Structure 1
Amino acid sequence: MNQSRQQASAAEVLTRAAKLSNVDAQGAVTVRDGSHAIFELPNGIVARIGKSHSYPTAQRELRISQWLNRNGIATVEAVNSIPQPTLVDERPVTWWTLIPNHRPSTPAELGRMLRQLHALTPPIDFPLPVYAPFDGVREAVESAATITEADRCWLLEQYARLRQRYDELDEPSQPCVIHGDAWQGNLVVPPSGEPIVLDLDKVSIGWREWDLVQLAVDHTDFRRITDDQYQGFVDAYGGYDVTCWPGYRVLADIQEFRWVAFALGRSDTRQSAATEAEHRIACLRGLEPKPWTWRAL
């Protein structure tokens, strides 16, 4: 029931925003109901509904899209004929051009894009936030209603351990522009063959290693990609293999903890997320052998 209310809320926001912006939302199809609610609309438009009180983030996404496109990195483009963002009940709605018939990028394509992104000089006409790897993580653990107290206690202790290990790290590289959620599904390739970057809300200033670690753990901990595919990623990026950096395991453990926290954040309204969160916690606690298999949420 809570899940239905959550979905109805997003659908209601979409309906009201479409009316305010004179957009046809009849027959809208849900694409994703994650940290953002995303709908495909008629006439080649995609609506992206942000979280409550995230209007500044939505504004920044629009500016980042324009900035990256000007700097030679193709991104999803906003619909320029619609004033943006549209605000409904403190939730910003942005309107984007649909990218039809696309596929996820290959590891090599992702590596090439990240090499180009990390070489950019940060924008001077608007600020980018500093990447915050622990943002919202502790709160997700503390507020989770579907886990045992034993798991909650272990997670909070692990959180403290990760914070300490992170604070003790030597900086591996100079901070640069990073994507913040660099996986193959956030770089898509349409029939034209030119990769296009999606999900710009976490673009920020941080260590390049944060953008490299996601595909690295896909290789080391989940075996979602082969040795050759991972080597293709490393070669395309310029030869730097983040798994050879002594601090790799710290960032890998933090990234996997973040994925557990994401599942916990959805577990109160989705039984499937609660089940997945329980499985992910068991993996982190060493109760499931690697390579792990985690379901996408």
Structure 2
Amino acid sequence: MQRAVHPDAQDVDIIVNVTAISEPAGDVLTAAARRAGLNPAGAVLIRDGSNLMYRLAGGCVARIGAVGTEKAAEFQIEAARWLAGGGINAVAVLDDVAQPVVIHDRPVTWWRELPAHRPASTGELGGILRSLHRLEPPVRPALRIFDPFAGAADRIAAAQQLPDDDRSWLAHQVSVLREQLQQERTLRSPTVIHGDAWQNNVAVLAGGEPVLLDLEHVSLGDRDWDLIPLAADFARVSRSDYRSFVTAYGRDVTTAASFRTFADIQGLWWATFVLAKGATSVDAAREASRRITCLRGEISRPWTWSAF
């Protein structure tokens, strides 16, 4: 079994512990909290990534989305409530407050703070994915079709730091892999999938209860898109941990005829994810260059990619 190597996830966030609210996010949080009838005094930044997350008094967590993402915020609220109704433990929406509150075109949503927890083991991840994939697609929220290439072409086009040859190769590779994917399509009905399935997107409480997090990518698609990230990452995942995942879920995606295509698409997505960070980070630009070199076959497998 040969798998591509990569330690990243689709939405890597940096956990921080800051007592002061940064500007201008602090202004957004303060205005949104007041509109929702909550007290923002003493808020603590707990995550700084594609979304900002603050802990407020009283067991509340505020999540501030990027500009123009109100619809995505509304979807996450609906998805959380639907999953809970379907028997899937998911991060819980704070009830009886305005959801979402939009300040300066940035949506703010309110969630119940989780008690002490840890990231899931691979087996726990496999178990909750198995339950998720058994759900019947809902009428509401309306789930979009999962796009494994989402954002890749835009990142490539915007990467002015890339040599023209690498940019042309990546753009061509997107086209090649899209065509391969069309040929690999199965007859399976689309499944409810998480869309960003890895251990840190499942919190396990002290009593062993798993809770599904980061619901913005929940969609309809081939179930294997939730299995590929772990299967394509043996720099971070040991063979024994991968076996635990397979046992819990009941399927080894590496034996599927479409595995190589799916894994290559995942590797391309991971490379463009870091490529987007390369515009403002020398380290990310260097890592993106290495990943592209790997994808182009100039470095032999197994590859080792640094996390970003």
- Which deviates the most, 45-54 or 157-166? 45-54
Instruction: Indicate the SS of the match to 2:186.
Output: coil
If asked which structure has higher relative contact order (CA below 8 Å, sep 6+), I would say 2
Quickly say closer, same or farther: Cα 1:49–1:291, change in 2 above 3 A.
farther
1:42 counterpart = 2:57: yes
Write the distance in 2 (CA, Å) between the matches of 1:85 and 1:179.
22
Report Cα offsets for 1:127-168 as digits up to 9, x if no partner.
Answer: 111111222210111012332223212211211211121122
Tell me the percent identity. 42
1:243 corresponding residue in structure 2:
254
Write the distance in 2 (CA, Å) between the matches of 1:167 and 1:126.
27
2:85 corresponding residue in structure 1:
70
Write the distance in 2 (CA, Å) between the matches of 1:188 and 1:15.
28
2:6 corresponding residue in structure 1:
none
Aligned length: 287
- Matched ranges for 1:77-226 at <5 A: 77-171=92-186, 173-219=188-234, 222=235, 224-226=236-238
Structure 2's unaligned 5+ residue stretches are: 1-21
| 1:172, distance to aligned residue in structure 2 (A) | 6.0
1:281 counterpart = 2:296: no
Q: Which amino acid aligns with 2:255?
A: C
Instruction: Indicate the SS of the match to 2:305.
Output: coil
1:230 corresponding residue in structure 2:
242
Report Cα offsets for 1:10-44 as digits up to 9, x if no partner.
Answer: 44433332333233334444333333222333333
Write the distance in 2 (CA, Å) between the matches of 1:210 and 1:20.
39
2:72 corresponding residue in structure 1:
57
Write the distance in 2 (CA, Å) between the matches of 1:22 and 1:296.
39
Quickly say closer, same or farther: Cα 1:296–1:13, change in 2 above 3 A.
farther
Write the distance in 1 (CA, Å) between the matches of 2:40 and 2:232.
39
Structure 1's unaligned 5+ residue stretches are: 1-6
Structure number with higher helix proportion: 1
| 1:246, distance to aligned residue in structure 2 (A) | 1.1
TM-score, L = length of structure 1: 0.88
Quickly say closer, same or farther: Cα 1:290–1:95, change in 2 above 3 A.
farther
Quickly say closer, same or farther: Cα 1:286–1:14, change in 2 above 3 A.
farther
Write the distance in 1 (CA, Å) between the matches of 2:37 and 2:255.
53
